[in-house]
Amino acid sequence: MSGKILLEVVSPQRMVYKEEVDAFTIPGTLGYLGILPNHAPIISSLNIGILSVKRDGHEDKIALNGGFLEVSQNKAVVLAETAEVACDIDLKRAEAAKERAEQRLSKPADQIDLLRAEMALKRALTRIKAARG
């Protein structure tokens, strides 16, 4: 695996992604982390955001909804609450979720769970951004 790092992205439902990659950036809770081959061991919690993977001259995008990252011995494992590779995202469904979240946020605060609506909007926007590249 010279010059590569093994990246595995796992959700509770399935193995989402497993490839030897050149590098990736991932949304940590304190900001994006850049990971290269031979990275020092690290464990980090993750935020909602896009995992950008560089592999053999092209880039893959994966929409993440939180989780954890562990890097050790040239292997990175992402345990995600949910994860979707960009090509698997239903853009119409993501846009509909965005509209629903925006409608909820436009109501008076005492009628909705504000944090839940904001998180739903953030997830929908992340999925849309990943799907559009």
pLDDT for 111 = 63
Determine the distance from the C-alpha atom of residue 11 to the mean position of all C-alpha atoms in its chain, rounded to a whole number.
11
Q: Domain limits of the chain?
A: 5-86, 90-132
Is CATH 1.20.5.440 what the domain over 90-132 is classified as, yes or no?
yes
Low-confidence spans in the chain with pLDDT less than 70? 1-2, 108-112
What is the CATH number that goes with domain 5-86?
Answer: 2.60.15.10
Three-state secondary structure call for residue 105: helix
Please state, as a whole number, how many other Cβ atoms lie within 10 Å of the Cβ of residue 25: 15
Query: What are the residues whose beta carbons fall under 8 Å from the beta carbon of 102, sequence distance 6 or more?
Result: 121
Please report the pLDDT score of residue 109 as a whole number: 66
Chain-centroid distance of CA 122 in Å reads 12
Q: What is the pLDDT of residue 1?
A: 42
d(CA 50, CA 48): 7
User: How, if at all, do strands 31-35 and 42-55 pair?
Assistant: unpaired
Helix (H, G, I), strand (E, B), or coil: what is residue 41?
coil
Dist. CA 70–CA 109, nearest whole Å: 38
Q: Give the pTM.
A: 0.85
Structure tokens at 115: 């944090």
Find out whether 33 and 64 touch, Cβ atoms under 8 Å: no
